[in-house]
Structures are given as C-alpha cells and as structure tokens.
Homo-oligomer: A and B are copies of this chain.
Amino acid sequence: MNYGKIDIEIIEKLIEICGEGDVIYKDEEKLENYACDESGKIFCNPPEVVVKPENTGEVSKIMKLANVYHIPVTPRGAGSGLAGAAIPLYGGIVISMEKMNRILEIDKTNRVAVVEPGVITNDLCRKVEEEGLYYAGYPMSVGLSSIGGNVATNAGGSKVIKYGSTRKHVLGAEVVLPTGEVLNLGGKRRKETWGYDLLDLLIGSEGTLCIFTKLILNLLPLPKGTVDLLVPFRNIEEAIEAVKALFLEAKVLPTAIEFMDKTSVDIASQFLNFSLPLQGNAQAFLIIQIEERSKKELEEAYEKVGKSCLKNKALDVFVADNKTNSEKIWRIRRELTEALRNKDPFVSLSGDIIVPVSEIPIMLKKIKEVEKKYSVKTATIGHMGDGNLHPALFKPKDVSPEDWISLSEKIVEELIEEAIKLGGSGSGEHGVGLLKRKTFLKTKPSTEIRIMREIKRIFDPNMILNPGKVI
C-alpha cells in the first residue's frame, strides 16, 4: 500500500482537532507504549503519532483528515488483545480511545447502559451491580480490557455458555466510518428487522470497518448468588464426559465451565505460590460457576452439579461459596497469562481454536500429537462449555526467537486446520488480527473472502483503517 506520510502539517491539523495535550509525536518512549498488544513483544511496531480524542466529533475529524491524506489509522482500546489487531503495522496514526471512558447513563427502566468505548469492562460490571443490574460480558481480561475492544473483537470469556459473547449484549452503537461519517445503529431495544444488520457486521470486525464511539449495552437482573466449584478429574477424557452429563442429566446451564490441564495449573500455582486441592493426582481441573436469582435456587443448582460431577468420576468437588475462596480459584485461571509469560517470555498465546463440544477430545489429542511432532511443550486451558481451547506453546530452548515466530505460526495453523475439519473455527474470541491473517486467508473459502473484501471496500474505500488486519 502506498500511504501518505505524517508531516508537520498533519501533526498541526491533529493538534487543532484534539488539542496539544492529546497528541503524542516525536517522543519515542511514549510512542513505544502504543506499539504492541498482549500478543507479545516480538510483534510490535510503533505509530508515528498517537491521538486521544475526547468525543465523537474529534474522531470523525481525525478520520476525515486521514482519509484525505491516505494515512493509515489503527484504533486502540486497552491494548489487551492477543491477535495483534491494535498494532500499527504501517505506522501512521493510532487513535487511542482511553479518554473516551465515561459511563454516560445507566437506564434502569430500559435495562441498558450507554457507555463510551474506553470504559474498562470491570468498571462497568461493578457500576451496574450497584444499581441491582448485571452486565453479562466477561472476557478473562475483564480488569484490563475496554468495552470498545470487547465489541471490536466480539470478545468471549467465561460466561459465554449462559449469556453469549459480547455481540449478544450490544443493542446499539454510534460508530465513525473511515470516511468520517457517523452512524447510529440499533438503540434501546432488543429486536429489530429494519434493513440489513449493519450493527452485527461491525461487531467483531476488529477495527477494520469502523471506530465505535458509543455503545448501548443490554443489562440483566442481577443474580442473587454465585458459587464456584473446583472439580479435579483423573484425566481429561473424564472431565469432558462430566461436562456432557451436566447438560444432559443435571440440565443445569452453568455460567462458566473453565478447563485447565495439569501443566497450566502447575505453572499458575507456582507463580502465585499456592496449590489447589488434589493437584498431585489430577490431570484436569474444571472451574464451574453457577449464578442464580435466589439462595435456594443456587443451593439446588450446585448440589445438582456437584452430584452429577461425582457420579461422572470427579475426584472431588470443592465448593467456594464466599468471595475469598472464589477469588483463589479464579486467580489461578485469570493470572495464567502472566504466569505463562513469566515462565517463558516467548510463549505463544495466539491459539484460540473452537470446535463443537463433542470434538474436544479429538482436538486435545491433536494438541498432544503436535506437542510430540514439533518437540514443543504445551499448556492448554479453555472454555469447556463452548469448545474454545487456548493451547499455549512454549519456545524450545534451541529455537531462536526469529525461528519461533514462524514455527509457532505453523503449529497454530496446523491446529486451526484440524479445528475447521472438525466443524470448528480458527478463533473463538481473540480474532484474526495480524497474527492469524495468513492462516485466515488460506483457510476461508474464496467466495467468503471475496465478499468480505468487497464489504471492506464499501466502508473503507481508501483502505486506511487498520490495514494489514483480518482481510
């Protein structure tokens, strides 16, 4: 692509739009903060300039400017992505949404929250809880990631089985198109058939079709109680059978069924310096979270789940019905990324395959095969209830960081091809971004690629928004 360069004229115009304090340029150290996301230090590239708009009007003006001068623009939420979508591959402008972080309204009558995209997900969750309401989006990075990023990647997380991924919670959005035009899609309503569904088309488009500047989010009545069960199993196969039985026999829909293999648990527990019960005997752990509207219902539900697990060969069932114990269990899962990075700074975390639940055993077998074939150690965690697995790959000592980029990419591609063969897909929740683009373009049917490319052209005729990502 032949892009325009950032010169002093552009900088001056950006300052005119956003104000001097909201434009970063020349300061290499500060620009470096916008060079990477959480996919690892080896994929970084710094922008030439960072702007921090404070309202929709500014975002629109920035896009109009960039569109006229053909300057690449990369939108950025909290930078917690794992697929490289927020990395400014061609330099240019990074639009950081960090200053558009207000909760504009919690509308109890219509059960919606209206927020700016920079709001940190967990801040929203806590704020609406104070009002007796519940936001059901819950990526594992809930304390780091922003709502705008969640929407741009259609983030999943641990509560998808019960509540669906981020898409299901978005009722409306204000967006700025690459041309600077502003659209208002959807609204404070839960259904609509009034023309083509542009809102869902934009959700999950990873910052390549638009920039979200305002979001209208669905809220639910707040569940009255939460219980977390920690359930160790002798092996992975037995854990999977127990999950199947949960749906079919106990007929309970838990909020979360998280899976961790022994390697993951060992690494996390070492990092956090505490161990889980039966850690020595179990090859697989499930964390099952149940949320209900009353104490009575909660007790009934978790007894059902516990009994069902024990009947299906769980080694034991540990019930955490207070915050301290729950926190302990979830820390192992939530801080795993950091623990994995601490063990190996080059660990590849881009694996995010999804398969039908029935195919999880075959997929896990494939991961073990790959481990042997390439002599690469793996640690696998996943959202068991929806077949979404995250196999982490550790760099072997004798492989150079440069070779590791291509080797790990090759392995992830092999796993993705298997997932697709099993009726699954290449990414459950992280997205295509930069890291999986090659595999995506290789594995998607050509008709779909053609349609997506033409859609991209409709929204972004000059191809300036987040170039080099997805399509």
Stretch at the interface among A26-34, A117-125, A247-255, A266-274: A247-255
B447 touches A454 (CB 8 A): no
Within 8 Å of chain B (Cβ to Cβ): is A244? yes
A189 touches B430 (CB 8 A): no
Chain B contacts of A183 at CB under 8 A? Answer: 445, 447-448
Within 8 Å of chain B (Cβ to Cβ): is A111? yes
Task: Report the minimal beta-carbon distance from A426 to chain B, rounded to whole angstroms.
Answer: 5
Stretch at the interface among A154-162, A278-286, A373-381: A154-162
Interface flags for A192-215 (1: CB within 8 Å of B; 0: not) read: 111111101101111001000000
Contacts A220-B253, A248-B108 known; A193 to B187 CB distance under 8 Å? no
A197 touches B203 (CB 8 A): yes
Within 8 Å of chain B (Cβ to Cβ): is A92? no
Contacts A187-B356, A300-B294, A459-B451 known; A427 to B192 CB distance under 8 Å? yes
Task: Report the minimal beta-carbon distance from A148 to chain B, rounded to whole angstroms.
Answer: 15
Contacts A196-B205, A201-B200 known; A189 to B356 CB distance under 8 Å? yes
B132 touches A251 (CB 8 A): yes
B195 touches A471 (CB 8 A): yes
Within 8 Å of chain B (Cβ to Cβ): is A425? yes
B198 touches A204 (CB 8 A): no
Which of B164, B423, B427 is in CB contact (< 8 Å) with A194?
B427
Interface flags for A442-456 (1: CB within 8 Å of B; 0: not) read: 001101100110111
Q: A59 CA to B425 CA in the complex, in Å?
A: 26
**Cross-chain pairs A/B with CB under 8 angstroms, 28 sampled:** A109-B248, A110-B356, A111-B247, A132-B251, A160-B190, A183-B445, A183-B447, A187-B356, A187-B423, A187-B425, A188-B358, A189-B424, A191-B388, A191-B429, A193-B206, A193-B429, A193-B430, A194-B440, A195-B432, A195-B471, A196-B204, A197-B203, A198-B448, A200-B201, A221-B247, A221-B253, A296-B296, A455-B458
> A191-B354, A195-B470, A451-B459 known; 11 other A-B pairs, CB under 8 Å?
A109-B358, A110-B358, A153-B193, A167-B200, A187-B425, A188-B423, A189-B424, A195-B444, A196-B471, A200-B200, A200-B201
